[in-house]
């Protein structure tokens, strides 16, 4: 059982020899391997129990590094990269041969991003290869936002867990592709849609689930706690001792406060995102049988949070 630590050299040694490592990013913790080594990447799929049709995101330390792995960047992709990298934005772009098909699930595109977490950036700079990394959780479960979350579920399966503290964003990166040269948002995430349209104008969205999604973050049952979750806006609730409440900013009057979890007392969606996944894990661990979740206003990161809550409710 690997315990999290801050020894960057230990993490680098594991990665250089083709092993998998839990790494901090600003969004969620990743389960990383050398993206150019298919044998190393295969270990990610095995450890996560992840289906091979679900492609991985490749992490690099700079735009110039990204250009080594993609054939071209449409003008609007360049504008987004210049504005939001390093940061929680993944661009899906035509891949070069050097990226193994296993990473991209056979697609001729690769999802690539420059993370802003200083520990992650420093690690990437010390390596002479990029890191393929999905979120460091068993497939379908809530993403990890602390090193301990990674240790709890994957501690037996990794070579090292690099601790970078709690994640500052708390939801995964926003994913933007350019299927016909024009931008399409595939996954809502840490960069709000409003921030993207401010830079490149109106953007199409393809976020709904399908049997063969272009971004499996679109699968309905993603991000699910084990415990049943319902959305309070749509459901009559029969309260009991084993029911807890996930609230945006204020508790429901007349219900035991110890069973109500507030994501952001100040009604700040960024703060709510930081607390979302840790709160879902905690309610699972506490043994509640039902989570009644309140949706946020549909603006800014509220949309990404609501997307995760709806998927958790779809299970």
**Site residues for Mg ion per CB under 5 A:** 135
* 217 lines the binding site for ligand TXA (CB under 6 A): yes
Task: List the one residue from 4, 11, 27, 273 that touches ligand TXA (CB under 6 A).
Answer: 27
Per-position x/- string for 169-198, each x denoting binding to ligand TXA as judged by CB under 6 A, each - no binding: ---xx-x-x--------x------------
List the single partner that 214 binds among ligand TXA, Mg ion, none, CB under 5 to 8 Å by kind: ligand TXA
- Residue with smaller CB distance to Mg ion, 59 or 259: 59
* 276 lines the binding site for ligand TXA (CB under 6 A): no
Q: Which stretch binds ligand TXA (CB under 6 A): 61-69, 129-137, 158-166, 228-236?
A: 129-137
Per-residue three-class SS string for the chain: CCCCECCHHHHHHHHHCCCCEEECCCCCCEEEEECCCHHHHHHHHHHHCCCCCCCCEEECCCHHHHCCCECCCCHHHHHHHHHHCCCCEEEEEEECCCCCHHHHCCCCEEEEECCCCHHHHHHHHHCCCCEECCECCCCCECCCCCHHHHHHHHCCCCCEEECCCCCCCCCCCEEEECCCCCCEEEECCCCCHHHHHHHHCCCEECCCCCCCCCCHHHCCCCCECCCEEEECCCCCCCCCCCEEEEECCCCCCCCCHHHEEECCCCCCHHHHHHHHHHHHHHHHHCCCCEEEECCCCCCCHHHHHHHHHHHHHHC
- Residue with smaller CB distance to Mg ion, 44 or 124: 44
What is the closest distance, in whole angstroms, from the C-beta atom of residue 158 to Mg ion in the complex?
Answer: 16
Q: Which stretch binds ligand TXA (CB under 6 A): 13-21, 65-73, 104-112, 274-282?
A: 104-112
Give Cβ neighbours of residue 169 (< 8 Å, ≥ 6 apart): 26, 27, 88, 190, 270, 273, 274
List the single partner that 90 binds among ligand TXA, Mg ion, none, CB under 5 to 8 Å by kind: ligand TXA
Q: Which stretch binds ligand TXA (CB under 6 A): 1-9, 23-31, 275-283, 298-306?
A: 23-31
- Residue with smaller CB distance to ligand TXA, 57 or 263: 57
65-84 binders of ligand TXA (CB under 6 A) = none
- Residue with smaller CB distance to ligand TXA, 56 or 262: 56
Residues that bind ligand TXA (CB under 6 A): 25, 27-28, 30, 54-57, 88, 90, 92, 104, 107, 109-111, 133-135, 172-173, 175, 177, 186, 214-217
């Amino acid at each position: 059982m690997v315990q999290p630590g801050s020894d960057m050299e230990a993490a680098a040694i594991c990665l250089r020899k083709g092993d998998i490592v839990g790494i901090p990013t600003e969004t969620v913790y990743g389960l990383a391997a050398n993206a150019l080594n298919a044998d190393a990447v295969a270990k990610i799929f095995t450890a996560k129990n992840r289906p091979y049709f679900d492609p991985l995101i490749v992490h690099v330390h700079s735009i110039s590094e990204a250009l080594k792995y993609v054939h071209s960047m449409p003008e609007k992709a360049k504008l987004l990269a210049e504005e939001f990298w390093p940061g929680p934005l993944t661009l899906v772009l035509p891949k070069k041969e050097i990226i193994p098909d296993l990473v991209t699930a056979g697609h001729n595109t690769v999802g690539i991003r420059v993370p802003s977490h200083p520990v992650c950036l420093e690690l990437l700079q010390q390596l002479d290869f990029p890191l393929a990394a999905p979120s460091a959780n068993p497939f379908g479960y809530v993403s990890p936002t602390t090193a301990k979350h990674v240790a709890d579920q994957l501690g037996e399966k990794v070579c090292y867990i690099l601790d970078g503290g709690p994640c500052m964003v708390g939801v995964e990166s926003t994913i933007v592709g350019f299927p016909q040269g024009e931008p399409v948002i595939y996954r809502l995430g840490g960069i709000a849609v409003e921030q993207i349209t401010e830079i490149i104008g109106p953007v199409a969205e393809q976020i709904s689930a399908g049997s063969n999604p272009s971004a499996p973050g679109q699968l309905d049952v993603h991000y699910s706690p084990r415990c049943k979750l319902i959305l309070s806006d749509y459901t009559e609730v029969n309260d009991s001792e084993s029911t807890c409440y996930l609230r945006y900013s204020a508790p429901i009057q007349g219900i035991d406060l110890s069973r109500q979890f507030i994501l952001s007392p100040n009604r700040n969606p960024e703060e709510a995102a930081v607390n979302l996944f840790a709160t879902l894990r905690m309610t699972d661990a506490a043994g509640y049988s039902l989570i009644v979740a309140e949706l946020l206003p549909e603006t800014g990161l509220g949309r990404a949070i609501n997307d995760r809550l709806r998927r958790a409710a779809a299970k």
